[in-house]
Structure 1
Amino acid sequence: MSSFRRKHVALRGSGLDETKSAKQELAQGVRPSPLDGRLTTSTGTNSLDRLLAGHAGLALGTSLLVEESGTTDFGGSLLRYYASEGVVQGHHVHVLGMGDAWGRDLPGLGESSKVSKKETASEGLGALEGPVLERKEPSNAVGRGGSGVEENKMRIAWRYERLGQFGLKGTSTSNSGAIFCHDFDLSKRLTLPSPSLMYFVPSITKPEFEFRDKTTSTSPFNKFLNHLVTHLAANSSATVHRVVIPNLLSPALYSSDDSRPESVLQFLHALRALLRKYSTQLTAMITIPVTLYPRSTGLTRWMELLSDGVLELAPFPSSAIATKSTPGASTIHEEPPQGMLKIHRLPIFHEKGGGGGEASGFGDDLAFTLSRRKGLVFKPFSLPPVEGDSEAQQGGIEHDHGKATKVDIDF
């Protein structure tokens, strides 16, 4: 009789613990990584989510440093998408160095993100529960041991059902009717909720004309760290927080004392410690002007070492953008690229090494475009045909004896 009861050993303690942990509903805007199951959240830019080491999002407990050269502000747009996504998902957004006016300038939701949750939930349940319902049908052709096999298949199918479709928008494992990455429109403005979850900690923009010791002056970094520690300790462990730091060390926002290495590096080190301590609640995204602080300096290199991911935006000159928008360009139905994206480091968390550009379907040469409806899009870069070479654009090739034919080309 004991041999017949051994088939029920499949329901062990570990299986029950896994079932209980899986039934715990995730926070809004959070889903597990398809690689190792760690929790991730969206950056607000779908193409950037696909670049982050194959995790299909920014892993919680990590930071991303975005460097930008020139006088443009593409990095600021990236931060606004990141902050807007947090506001829509109900996350706590903490902004350093900016005031309330920065929050009122966030892009609003696009038309594709205004689908009702009822329709999205019905489509998600139909796509996810289909295979599981087929597993639940009893099979009379299987013997007495077949029930255990069917239970295993049901358990495996239900386990992988939680992963969802990571390459598409509008899917989430935390809530079948929730959208993981929204579309935003730059021509619209996001309406903040009345009890706003955005917190602004402005930096010192005006010099203090008081004769006192400099050591007694309050650093904006220490004030921001105290603000973060207070809110992280006051909220529950299921609350997600986003740290937004635009134009770090910019002379327009920070004083010369804040640019000292002993000041900013201690701040980034403390922020890294908070990210590791609250590894399931906190993410951070920072931009820095590398024109003022080049990568060749020791300060910038140390800032890169204290960040989990480092990206660099290199915008094209305005003349180059105008040249690429000629009618003879190969991307006639697409917007011309406005700059190049350089990936210096991506967050890697497991022994497999994560996934770089090849795992995400992109090559080494990446470009970006910023448009009103599509937002900031990262895509492979390709050179258009030479301007004025109409025959090359039409595929015509000539040689000394006249126009080349198919026989001349096939050699």
Structure 2
Amino acid sequence: MASFRKRNVPLRSGTSALSESPTSIKQELAQGVRPSPLDGRLTTSTGTRSLDGLLAGHAGLALGTSLLVEESGTTDFGGSLLKYYASEGVVQGHHVHVLGMNEGWGRDLPGVVETSKSARKEGNSSGDGVHDRDTSRKSSDGGSGEKMKIAWRYERLGEFGSGSRDRNSSQSTGPSTSNSGAIFCHDFDLSKRLILPSPSLMYFVPSTSKPDFEFTDANNSASPFNTFLNHLITHLSASASNTVHRIIIPNLLSPALHTSELSRPESVLQFLHALRALLRKYSAQVTAMITLPLTLYPRSTGLTRWMELLSDGVLELAPFPSSAIATKSTPGASTIQEEPPQGMLKIHRLPIFHEKGGGGGEASGFGDDLAFTLSRRKGVVIKPFSLPPVEGDSEAQQGGLEHDHGKATKVDIEF
């Protein structure tokens, strides 16, 4: 009789628990948070797509980690990265804590770029290789949209970290996450200003220290670092477990914001130790981004090296002089439509770089020469750096196309 039993009847024991567990996991994911494609840890966007592609292949900044951005010179490209990071947090509904600045810093946040439906359709269709092949064949007959016959193969080859973004977009559109239709990283415009919501989740903790002209002993209890820690502990302990917090510290140890007494190693390192402890305690809720002026605190000093050891990720921005940027905008550049790079980016350390995560390779760009560009619509774009061809060397370039039977013709070049 057992042989005539139906084999397609599902078992009822234990099925309810299995069906309810994915639903509970979906509800716990906050907006603007998604799992890493490498090891599944939760990540959030920095507001800059190219920077997300650099962070050890996780396609975002892992929760519970910090990022130290060092910059030499008198420019403020690191401040732009902080503003994109803050704008992304405000749009996603995260709690943004700006330490050491007043509310005037929040009025200069870039606004979100409004994309039309037609642009989205074009963007979605451009990712299909068959569609690009058809359009390239149609436009090869003539017209302003003329392309090479094999251009559709290499259209997205030059995009930095495109492989990781495609892999992440395919995962975000799947049914595994609850916010699959939400945008992970928005596009911002520097010419627009972000309007903060009326019950704003953005908190400003200005530095209360003032220059001491009375030549008295410093009062450690009045240190702004203690005020910063008390503010963070109060908000983190009172928030829900699925609330995401972003900590922003612009120009740490800058004499324009703090007194010189705060640059003592015992004050700064104790604060960074406590901040690192908060990141580990609330590892599924908090991320931090800090900027440091290297002109005042170079990497050759012991204080800066200890600050780097207490940070999970360390990036260095080395802007070009203004004369070098003007020289690179000559017609002899390698790409006509691309803007010239404005500086070099050095990666000293990446967060969560271990045997499981931090795949490296082309997606992370670790070890490559990287350059960055800041524009109004595209924001901060990080790409591999390549020197343009030397001007006046056209004869040598044409000589490379010659062979034994003479100069190369159009038929020889096509393949």
Q: TM-score, normalised by structure 1?
A: 0.79
- In the other structure, the counterpart of 2:224 is 220
- In the other structure, the counterpart of 1:130 is none
- In the other structure, the counterpart of 1:288 is 292
Counterpart among 248, 256, 266 of residue 262 in structure 1: 266
Alignment partner of 1:340 is 2:354: no
Alignment partner of 1:299 is 2:303: yes
Alignment partner of 1:388 is 2:398: no
Counterpart among 356, 371, 380 of residue 375 in structure 2: 371
- How far apart, CA to CA, are the structure 1 residues paired with 2:365 and 2:13? 39
Asked if structure 2 preserves the Cα contact closer than 8 Å seen for 1:86 and 1:93, the reply is yes
Going from structure 1 to structure 2, the CA distance change for 1:189 and 1:251 (only over 3 Å counts) comes to: same
Asked if structure 2 preserves the Cα contact closer than 8 Å seen for 1:69 and 1:313, the reply is yes
Instruction: After TM superposition, give the deviation of residue 6 of structure 1 in Å.
Output: 10
Instruction: After TM superposition, give the deviation of residue 238 of structure 1 in Å.
Output: 1.1
- In the other structure, the counterpart of 1:177 is 181
- In the other structure, the counterpart of 2:52 is 49
- In the other structure, the counterpart of 2:160 is none
Instruction: After TM superposition, give the deviation of residue 388 of structure 1 in Å.
Output: 3.3
Going from structure 1 to structure 2, the CA distance change for 1:224 and 1:270 (only over 3 Å counts) comes to: same
Instruction: After TM superposition, give the deviation of residue 354 of structure 1 in Å.
Output: 1.6
Asked if structure 2 preserves the Cα contact closer than 8 Å seen for 1:169 and 1:180, the reply is no
- How far apart, CA to CA, are the structure 2 residues paired with 1:209 and 1:324? 48
- How far apart, CA to CA, are the structure 2 residues paired with 1:289 and 1:115? 42
Alpha-carbon RMSD: 3.4
Going from structure 1 to structure 2, the CA distance change for 1:115 and 1:208 (only over 3 Å counts) comes to: farther
Asked if structure 2 preserves the Cα contact closer than 8 Å seen for 1:170 and 1:179, the reply is no
Asked if structure 2 preserves the Cα contact closer than 8 Å seen for 1:171 and 1:180, the reply is no
- In the other structure, the counterpart of 2:102 is 99
Counterpart among 165, 168, 175 of residue 166 in structure 1: 168
- Partner of 1:78, secondary structure, is helix
Going from structure 1 to structure 2, the CA distance change for 1:14 and 1:332 (only over 3 Å counts) comes to: same
Going from structure 1 to structure 2, the CA distance change for 1:81 and 1:378 (only over 3 Å counts) comes to: same
Alignment partner of 1:279 is 2:272: no
- Partner of 2:356, secondary structure, is coil
- How far apart, CA to CA, are the structure 2 residues paired with 1:216 and 1:279? 29
- Partner of 1:287, secondary structure, is strand
Alignment partner of 1:83 is 2:81: no
Instruction: After TM superposition, give the deviation of residue 253 of structure 1 in Å.
Output: 0.9
- In the other structure, the counterpart of 2:77 is 74
Q: 1:130-149 to 2 correspondence within 5 Å? A: none
Going from structure 1 to structure 2, the CA distance change for 1:115 and 1:77 (only over 3 Å counts) comes to: farther
Deviates more, 1:270-279 or 1:16-25: 16-25
Identity of aligned residues (%): 77
Gaps of 5+ in 2: 125-164
Asked if structure 2 preserves the Cα contact closer than 8 Å seen for 1:363 and 1:380, the reply is no
- Partner of 2:288, secondary structure, is strand
Amino acid at match of 2:267: S
Asked if structure 2 preserves the Cα contact closer than 8 Å seen for 1:171 and 1:178, the reply is no
Asked if structure 2 preserves the Cα contact closer than 8 Å seen for 1:316 and 1:339, the reply is yes
Asked if structure 2 preserves the Cα contact closer than 8 Å seen for 1:51 and 1:357, the reply is no
Counterpart among 225, 231, 235 of residue 231 in structure 1: 235
Going from structure 1 to structure 2, the CA distance change for 1:30 and 1:164 (only over 3 Å counts) comes to: farther
Asked if structure 2 preserves the Cα contact closer than 8 Å seen for 1:67 and 1:290, the reply is yes
- How far apart, CA to CA, are the structure 2 residues paired with 1:115 and 1:236? 35
Deviates more, 1:200-209 or 1:289-298: 200-209
Instruction: After TM superposition, give the deviation of residue 386 of structure 1 in Å.
Output: 1.2
Asked if structure 1 preserves the Cα contact closer than 8 Å seen for 2:62 and 2:352, the reply is no
- How far apart, CA to CA, are the structure 1 residues paired with 2:279 and 2:82? 18
Instruction: After TM superposition, give the deviation of residue 359 of structure 1 in Å.
Output: 3.6
Instruction: After TM superposition, give the deviation of residue 290 of structure 1 in Å.
Output: 1.1
Asked if structure 2 preserves the Cα contact closer than 8 Å seen for 1:204 and 1:253, the reply is no
- How far apart, CA to CA, are the structure 2 residues paired with 1:326 and 1:164? 33
- How far apart, CA to CA, are the structure 1 residues paired with 2:215 and 2:310? 35
- In the other structure, the counterpart of 1:246 is 250
Amino acid at match of 1:65: L
Amino acid at match of 1:287: T
Going from structure 1 to structure 2, the CA distance change for 1:357 and 1:340 (only over 3 Å counts) comes to: farther
- How far apart, CA to CA, are the structure 1 residues paired with 2:387 and 2:219? 54
- How far apart, CA to CA, are the structure 1 residues paired with 2:223 and 2:392? 57
- How far apart, CA to CA, are the structure 2 residues paired with 1:83 and 1:274? 19
Instruction: After TM superposition, give the deviation of residue 358 of structure 1 in Å.
Output: 2.8
Q: 1:5-44 to 2 correspondence within 5 Å? A: 8=11, 11=14, 15=18, 18-44=21-47
Count of aligned pairs between the two proteins: 363
Instruction: After TM superposition, give the deviation of residue 352 of structure 1 in Å.
Output: 2.4
Going from structure 1 to structure 2, the CA distance change for 1:32 and 1:350 (only over 3 Å counts) comes to: same
- How far apart, CA to CA, are the structure 1 residues paired with 2:366 and 2:274? 34
Deviation sequence 1:123-172 (CA, Å, 0-9, x none): 9xxxxxxxxxxxxxxxxxxxxxxxxxxxxxxxxxxxxxxx9951589969
